[in-house]
């Protein structure tokens, strides 16, 4: 019913797709590239803050609202590993860190979390990339990775 060429192309397509899927698993396993962790929500995420867990481990709790992020500037020493938690106080916002593969949604009633290492000093811009009303294009924040450290 299906001719040889067609059968071959279906087989090849399936193999190619298999290869892509292997690449996804490789990225997850060897490169630790994953999507946001799924955490149950609680009220403590509504308080924006930076917490230091130990010398090189930090947690930043972001609260997005129309039309800014809190904390709007966060200082982190070079070489730290940072857990980012993001939620929203009003509508849906986006959270994209320039030059880092951090890409989260800030959704009221939910919290997203990812972990990122900052090995290079610099100013990392955070841009809101989901439409959140008339002030959307103003909405950004900064993560300042400095060396030697100081606030």
Partner 1 sequence: MQVSRFLRNTILIELFVPILLLTVGIYHGLMQVIYRAGVIHQSSVAKLDYYQGLTLHGVINAVVLTTFFAVAFGHATIAFYLKKEPNKKATALSMWLMVIGTLLAAAAMLAGKASVLYTFYPPLKAHPAFYIGTAMLIIGSWVAFFDWVTIYLKWKKENPETNTPLAIIGTLVNFTIWFVCTTAVAYEVLVLLVPWSLGHTPTVNVPLARTLFWFFGHALVYFWLLPSYIMFYTMLPKLAGGKLYSATAGRIAFFIFLLLSIPIGVHHQFGDPSIGRGVKLSQSLLTFGVALPSFITAFTLAASLEYAARKRGATGLYNWIWKLPFFRKDVFLFGYLINGLILFIFGGLTGLVLASYSLNNVVHNTAFIPGHFHMTVAGPVFLAILGMSIFLLQQLTGKKIFLPTINAIVPYLWTVGVIIFSSGLMWGGLMGEPRRTNLGLTYLNPASDQYHPYWVISSMLGLAGGGIMFVAGFLYFISFFGTLFSKRSTEPLLDLPESEPLHEEKRIPVLDTFKPWLAIMALIIFLTYLPAISDALNNTGKKAPPYLPTDPTPVVQKK
Alpha-carbon distance of 57 to 118, in angstroms, equals 11
- The distance of Cα 68 from the centroid of its chain, to the nearest Å, equals 17
Buried b (16+ CB within 10 A) or exposed e, 20-45: eeeeeeeeeeeeeeeebeeeeeeeeb
Q: Find the binder of partner 1 among 50, 78, 105, 144 (CB under 8 A).
A: 105
**Cα end-to-end distance, the chain, whole Å:** 72
Taking residues 5 to 34 in sequence order and writing x for each that binds partner 1 by CB under 8 A, - otherwise, the string is xx--xx--xx-xx--xx-xx--xx----xx
Tell me which residues touch Cu ion (CB under 5 A).
93, 128, 132, 139
Chain positions contacting partner 1, by CB under 8 A: 1-3, 5-6, 9-10, 13-14, 16-17, 20-21, 23-24, 27-28, 33-43, 65-67, 87, 90-92, 94, 96, 98-99, 101-105, 107-112, 125, 127-138, 140
């Amino acid at each position: 019913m299906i001719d040889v060429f067609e059968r071959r192309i279906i087989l090849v397509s399936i193999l190619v797709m298999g290869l892509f899927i292997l690449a996804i698993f490789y990225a997850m396993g060897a490169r630790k590239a994953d999507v946001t962790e799924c955490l149950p929500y609680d009220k403590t995420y509504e308080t924006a803050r930076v917490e230091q867990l130990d010398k090189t481990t930090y947690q930043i709790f972001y609260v997005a609202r129309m039309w800014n992020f809190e904390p709007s500037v966060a200082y982190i020493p070079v070489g730290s590993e940072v857990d980012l938690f993001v939620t929203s106080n009003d509508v849906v916002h986006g959270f994209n860190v320039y030059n880092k593969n951090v890409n989260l949604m800030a959704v009221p009633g939910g919290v997203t979390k990812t972990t990122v290492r900052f090995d290079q000093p610099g100013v990392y811009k955070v841009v809101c990339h989901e439409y959140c009303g008339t002030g959307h294009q103003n909405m950004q924040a900064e993560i300042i990775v400095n060396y030697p450290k100081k606030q």
